[in-house]
Amino acid sequence: MDRVLIIDDDFELCSLVSEYLEPEGFRVESVHDGETGLHRALNGNYLLVVLDVIPPALTGFAVLRRIRATSRFPVLLVAARSE
């Protein structure tokens, strides 16, 4: 089963994305801060990482730069606002 990692501090958004992807056969994991997400992304075997631009502890752009230093798996940057 293909794995997707979501790095986002919005619990509801993580749940919503999971609701859409899991019926399509993806196993979705969510983490809610940049440091933890970076560690998981670099040490896991993910098909895709969905990355919030501004997660807590480490910005999405910093996470992306560190991922790109060692890996080329797809990363989808998202910026969601409640308004």
How far does CA 16 lie from the centroid of its chain?
A: 13
- The SS3 call for residue 14 is helix
CATH number at residue 38: 3.40.50.2300
End-to-end CA distance of the chain: give it in Å, rounded.
35
* Residue 11 within a domain: yes
Q: Which residue has the tokens 């501090």?
A: 9
User: What token pair was written down for 39?
Assistant: 């560690």
On whether residue 70 sits in a domain, the answer given is yes
Task: Let me know if residue 10 belongs to a domain.
Answer: yes
Structure-token pair, residue 44: 């896991």
Q: Specify if 74 maps to a domain.
A: yes
Task: Give the per-residue pLDDT at 83.
Answer: 56
> Which residues form the domain of 23?
3-78
How far apart are alpha carbons 67 and 21 in whole angstroms? 23
Domain count for the chain = 1
Residue 1 has pLDDT above 90, yes or no: no
Q: What is the pLDDT of residue 54?
A: 84
- The model carries a pTM of 0.91
Residue 83 placed within a domain: no
pLDDT in tens, 19-77: 999 999 999 999 999 999 999 999 999 999 999 998 778 889 999 999 999 999 999 99
